[in-house]
Structures are given as C-alpha cells and as structure tokens.
Chains A and B, each alone.
Chain A
Amino acid sequence: MLLYKKPSLLTDTNMHYCPGCSHAVVNKIIAEVLEEMNIGTENIIGVSPVGCGVFIYNYIDIDWVEAAHGRAPAVATGVKRMNPDKLVFTYQGDGEVTAIGTGEVIHACNRGENIAIIFINNAVFGMTNGQMAPTTPLGMKTTTCPDGRDPQLNGYPLPMAQLFADIQGTCYVTRQAVNTYKAVKNTKKAIRRAFDYSLQRKGTSVVEIICACPTNWKMTPVEANKYISDFSVKTFPLGDLKRP
C-alpha cells in the first residue's frame, strides 16, 4: 500500500532552504494542492517573490513570473487580467506583504483581484541574514534590533491579515502555521480553499502562514517550531479572519 509519494509537480531540484525552514514545507503543500486540484498545469501561473521564496520557480513545475520585490500582487493583476479563467497566485514573504509591497497588496485586495496570496510570515528578512521585519514580535532580537524589538524605536508587529479582512474585495483571509502535523493539514485545506475561491472569482484570498526561520532566529528547528506554538501565535493568533 502506498503511504506517501512526492507530489508530481515537485521537481527533483535540491531545495536551497536551510534545515527546518518552513518554506520547504509550504512549497510541498502547494505542489500537493495543485496536483489534487487536477486542473492541468496550462491553467496555473505562479508569481514568485524576492526573498528566500524566490527560487520556488525551481521547485514547482508550473509556469512562473518572477516579480520585483513586493510587486507580486501588481504583476499577478497584469497576469490575471489577461488570463481570467486561470489560477493565478503569488508567493510572498513578510518583507513583501508588510513592508515594501503594502501598497500593491492592499490595492490588489481592494480591487478584489481573483488571485490567491500565499503570505509567508517568518518575522524576519531571511534572505539578507535576518533583519527586523514589520512582523518581528516585540522583544525578538535581530541584526537591526540587537537588543530586541522596542516599540518606542520600531513600532509594533503589523497585523496585515486584520487589514485584509476589513477590505471589501477580499473573500477569504486566514492565518495558519506549519509547525505541527495538524497545522500542516490545516494549511493545506486553507490553500485549497484559497485556490478554489480564486477560480470561482469570489475575490482576493490571503493565506498567511506563520513560519519558522531557525537560522536567523538562532534556534534549532525543534526550538523554532515550539517558539511558534508558545510565542508567535500570541502576536499572530491562528484561524480564519474572513470566509465567504
């Protein structure tokens, strides 16, 4: 009996992600969901980001458009408007969604673009060695807040998902994690819903995923996953914020 197999849309390319990085888990979930949807790769176009997620185009065997940092929702708008019947999704980190690309993501949501936004929130700028992000929890130490994030200096963790939920153009906003088996199952369901809603043209879907960055958090993978359960979810509680 076959208990496990690699998703057919996952390529054999060695992933560049660090040990314990959640990106690899989410990449695999996306490949699984796309395979299970069985809509044919000719009906799928992904938009990849700048950051650790940039090379997702090497791992999932579909057509990709690589966007400038933070601009993926605008690029996806340009793709989707030309391909209204195809599944168009972005894969973006918290630097994109909560810092440099806030304008593009807010307005894509506000137009109700029928795209899905997979939002990887690992609380730091991973690709550039772990600087503070707008999502860094208070007190967390990074290379640009070495004494821990201080709200007097750096403000507060930005709750983007709440903003998305308030915007009329979104149909589905959820916050998930991949630090436990159960969380992985829930994230997979959430991504499937987001993709389905996009194809049904219900509006913009956002799946925020609280992710681990053990390298830049200076933790082991196990410690990082435990940190999410014990601390991250206090800043960013899991669950659906909006359902159609």
Chain B
Amino acid sequence: MLLKGNEALALAAIRYGVDAYYGYPITPQSEIMETLIAQKPWESTGMTVLQAESEVAAINMVYGTAATGRMAMTSSSGPGISLMQNGISYLCGANLPCLIVNVMRGGPGLGTISPSQADYFQATRGGGHGDYRTLVLAPSSVQEMADFVAIAFQWAFRYRNPAMILADGTIGQMMEKVTLPPFQQRLTASEVAKLHTWASTGRREGQQRNIVSSLDLDPAAMELKCLNREQRYQVAIDNDARHQAIHCDDAEILIVAFGSAARICTKTVQLARQQGIRAGLFRPITLWPFPAQALRQAAQHAQHILVVELNAGQMIDDVRLALTTQNNPTTTPNLPNTSNHPNTPTITHYGRLGGVVFTPEEILNHIKNIHTAPPTQTAPPTQTTPPTQTAPSTPPH
C-alpha cells in the first residue's frame, strides 16, 4: 500500500486496537486525525476519535482514558507538544501509559511548517517539570511510522510511562510502500479490569478503591515513587535501546543521525563508499533510552564522529556522553573522561536549521573536507556549518 507516514501511523493505530485518539489540528500532522475520522473506527473496532478544543485538553483526555487502563494516543507538532508538556508530566507522575506522536517542524515559537529535528532535547529530557523521561522512538520510514505504534504501546504498558514517536515533517508527509500490521481486537472491559488492576474503572465489591494520581505530600513516600520510576527506566536502558548500524565495522568517519536525517545520510554513506571513503552510519532508533553501548561498539575504529541533525546540535550531547562516560543516568553524570574509550575520535556536528533540509551530497562534501583535513587540526566541539555558498533565500534543494 502506498501511504503517507501520517496515514500509515493512523491506520496502524486502528489495526493495533487503540481505544482512543484525541487531537487538535496542526501542520504537518493533521492527516493523522483526518485519516482516523475518515476510517470511522468507532463503527469497526469501537475506537474513539475526538477532536479536542486544544492540545491541553487533548493530553488530559488521554490522561483520563489511560487512567481507565485503555490505550490512548494523541499527536501534534512542536507548538502543540509544548502545550502538552504539563499533561505529559502528570501522565508520568501517575504512571500512566500512552502514545504521543510529535511530527516535528522548525522552531522555536510558531517557527515554520517545514521538517526539523529541533525537539530532540524536549523529547529525550522529559520536556515538562519533574524527574521523568518518555520512551522515544524515531522512525526513518513510513513503514516504521506504522510499526512503531505497537512497540510504543507495548513499552508504555510495560513501563507504565508515556511513549513518544518522534517523527518530522518529512517522514509524516512522504509517501512510501508500507505493509500494515494485521487487525487486532480491542480488549474487553473485563480483560482490561483483569490485566490492569491499577486502573480506575469503578471499584468492585469488596475491593480497595483505585486512585490514579501523581500527588503525594509525604516526601519519603514520594521519593520511593520516584525511585521506583527510575528503576523502571533502568530496565528500559538495559533492555530496549535500539539502533541500526550501516558499514560501521570499518568506518573511519562515523555519521550518527536519526529519523529523516539518517535516511539522507544512508545515501551519503553509499556515495562516500563509492569514492573510497570509509564512512558508516549509526542510527539510534530509540532516542531515549539512547543506544550508548552500541554506539561505543560502533565507534571503535572511527577517527571522526560526525553528528548530523536538522537542528543546532542536540543529540551530539548524548553522543559525547556515550563516548566519554559510562552511561549511568541514575547517578550524577560524571565529568567527561576520554580515557574510558580506547580510541578518542573527534566529535563534530553538522546541522541545518529552521526547516531547511540537507542533501546527501551536502553531507558528502562536508565529509570530504573532514577527510582531507590535516590530522593536527582539532575541530571545535560543536560546529554547525551551513554551506557558505548558499544564500539563506535559496536553499540547496
């Protein structure tokens, strides 16, 4: 089937047996709600689809549905996701599972409607108030937009925590061939009650009442709840970090990129190899937990790590942390210690901002400059270098 990324995600949600979608229109992801409504899933699977009055309302509707043990999801783009942050924090605080889809656009502020990856920090650092993370999957194809719905919900319920699909305008809008997952029945009310004994579905005779809440005024009790959350996060870090490695084994120049940027860089690596440059690509599929261990492995022979993002340099922080420290987020981060790594590659950044998307050739040219640079020249820690020959009004594509 030939589908847009946004459409594939919507159809996959119906097929996976998601119970409810709440959303508010915003470019570049409005097709998600439109596709859902066009399918009338309330007539087939019984799924609820509701256009909310705001993103704030949408995420709180998600909270209400999640509190009853049901699969709830929402989708938006940067400005709307920012409005949802309070609700996402409450969902984490109340240990509620759900799926949040962010089809990123350039920012800050109203920004642009063109693709961007500038919400990496917001997605991977929590985004709202308090100690929490969301489980973040970054698709780089339409197929992954469809496939990640199931993974996100499985993890959300396993860890009792919101999961996020962090896509961007390119992945949401482009059309590709996709195989949709098979139809799956929604759970019945008694199945939900049996599976999710924590859910507020009405107290049954002789049982304790359930209170879904993020509040506890007793600091000692609250610390225990927070530590319990951190333990769950540690299990996710140990088990669920995912990545894709292309030509990493002998790579001298290792590109690290996610989502649509990784897609573009796949072509760059191909072109580089044709020209005898030993380039490789490491693509984090989960942005949180970040595949730090796998990256250390992949970077063993690299002389140079080039982090390529559609932002001013965000994931590069995690790349540096992975390659310079032991990844242990439950303790205070160590100061960078390069002696932990057998090889000490240079780590630089290449990014385009504000909705401008780089081409494979543009990255290749940048790699060639690195490749021919004298070894004594040390690159600055972060280098966001749009090509000087391109005037801002005429993007290279």
Whether A104 pairs with B64 at a CB distance below 8 angstroms is no
Residue A81 is within 8 A (CB to CB) of chain B in the complex: yes
Contact A54 B62 (CB under 8 A): no
How long is the Cα–Cα vector from A106 to B57 in the complex, in angstroms?
A: 11
- Which residue of B has the minimal Cβ distance to A44? B202
Q: Is the CB of B61 within 8 A of A64?
A: no
Q: At the interface, yes or no: A42 with Cβ under 8 Å from chain B?
A: yes
Interface string of A66-96 (1 = CB under 8 A from B): 1110010011111111110010000000000
B200 interfacial contact with A, CB 8 Å: yes
- Report yes or no: A75 in contact with B61, Cβ–Cβ below 8 A: yes
Chain B residues with a Cβ closer than 8 Å to the other chain, count: 39
User: How far, in Å, is B57 (CB) from chain A's closest CB?
Assistant: 4
Partner of A64, one of B50, B86, B212: B212
Closest to B189 in A: A83
A76 proximity list for chain B (CB < 8 A): 64
Interface string of B185-213 (1 = CB under 8 A from A): 00000000000000011111100011111
Contact, CB under 8 Å: B210 / A104: no
**Contact indicator A78/B61 (Cβ below 8 Å):** yes
Cross-chain contact B20 with A64 (CB below 8 angstroms): no
Q: Which residues of B contact A43 (CB under 8 A)?
A: 202
Instruction: Say yes or no for A30: interface residue by CB 8 A criterion.
Output: no
Interface window among A55-63, A190-198, A203-211, A232-240: A55-63
Contact indicator A82/B205 (Cβ below 8 Å): no
CB distance from A49 to the nearest CB of B (A): 11
Bound complex: CA A57 to CA B211 (Å) = 7
Determine if B36 is an interface residue (Cβ-Cβ < 8 Å).
no
Query: Given A64-B200, A82-B19, A82-B48, A75 and B64 touching (CB < 8 A)?
Result: yes
Complex contact B200–A63 (CB within 8 A): yes
Q: Count chain A CB atoms within 10 A of each CB in B52, B66, B202 and give the residue with the most.
A: B202
Residues A81 and B65 in contact, CB atoms below 8 Å apart: yes
A-contact bits for B33-68, CB 8 A (1 contact / 0 none): 000000000000000101011101110111111111
- CB <8 Å contact, A41 and B200: no
Q: How far does the alpha carbon of A10 sit from the alpha carbon of B72 in the complex, in Å?
A: 32
Instruction: Tell me which of B58, B203, B213, B215 contacts A61 (CB under 8 A).
Output: B203
Contact of A82 among B54, B65, B214 (CB under 8 A): B65
Contact partners of B58 in chain A: CB under 8 A: 74
Contact A82:B202 (CB < 8 A) given known A57-B213, A74-B52: no
A12 to B214, CA, bound (A): 23
| Complex contact B215–A64 (CB within 8 A) | no
How many cross-chain pairs have Cβ atoms below 8 Å apart between A and B? 134
Q: Which residue of A lies closest to B90 (CB)?
A: A68
Q: Is the CB of B210 within 8 A of A64?
A: yes
CB neighbours (8 Å) of A45 from chain B are: 68, 200-202
A47 to B212, CA, bound (A): 9
Q: Could you tell me the distance between the alpha carbons of A61 and B116 in the complex, rounded to whole angstroms?
A: 49
**Residues A74 and B202 in contact in the complex (CB < 8 Å), given A64-B213, A103-B54, A103-B56:** no
CA distance in complex: A79, B62 (Å): 9
Q: Are A68 and B87 in contact (CB under 8 A)?
A: yes
Q: Does A65 contact B (CB under 8 A)?
A: yes
Q: Give complex CA distance A66, B212 in Å.
A: 6
B352 at the interface (CB under 8 A from A): no
Say whether A107 faces chain B, with CB atoms less than 8 Å apart: yes
* Binary contact readout B53-97 vs A (1 if CB under 8 angstroms, 0 otherwise): 110111011111111101010000000000000110010001000
Question: Given the known A-B contacts A68-B60, A78-B61, are A83 and B211 also in contact in the complex, defined by CB atoms under 8 Å?
Answer: no
Contact at A67–B60, with CB atoms within 8 Å? yes
Given contacts A71-B60, A77-B61, A79-B68, contact A65 B212 (CB under 8 A): yes
A81 and B60: CB pair below 8 A?
Answer: no
Which residues of A (34-56) have their CB < 8 Å from a CB of B? 40-45, 47-48, 54
CB B100 to nearest CB in A, in angstroms, measures: 14
Smallest Cβ-Cβ distance to B53: which chain A residue: A107
Task: Pick the contact of B205: A40, A54, A77, A79 (CB < 8 A).
Answer: A40
The residues in A between 201 and 237 inclusive whose CB is less than 8 angstroms from any CB of B are none
A171 to chain B, nearest CB (A): 20
Q: Do A41 and B204 have beta carbons less than 8 Å apart?
A: yes
Judge whether B200 and A65 touch: CB under 8 Å.
Answer: yes
Q: Judge whether A71 and B87 touch: CB under 8 Å.
A: yes
Known A-B contacts A74-B61, A77-B50, A107-B53; A42 and B212 likewise in contact (beta carbons under 8 Å): no
Give bound CA distance, A45 to B199, whole Å: 11
* Partner of A78 from B56, B62, B204, B210 at Cβ < 8 Å: B62
- Given the complex, which residues of B lie within 8 Å of A66, measured CB to CB? 94, 211-215
Given A68-B90, A83-B68, A104-B53, also A78-B203 (CB < 8 A): no
A-B contact pairs, 12 of them (CB 8 A): A48-B213, A61-B203, A62-B209, A66-B212, A68-B87, A71-B63, A75-B61, A75-B64, A78-B63, A79-B68, A82-B65, A82-B70
For the complex of A and B, the 6 pairs showing the least CB-CB separation, nearest first, are: A78-B64, A66-B213, A74-B60, A75-B64, A63-B200, A78-B65
Chain B residues proximal to chain A, CB less than 8 Å: 19-20, 22, 48, 50, 52-54, 56-58, 60-68, 70, 72, 86-87, 90, 94, 200-205, 209-215
Residues in A lying within 8 Å of B, measured CB to CB = 40-45, 47-48, 54, 57, 61-68, 71, 74-83, 86, 103-104, 106-107
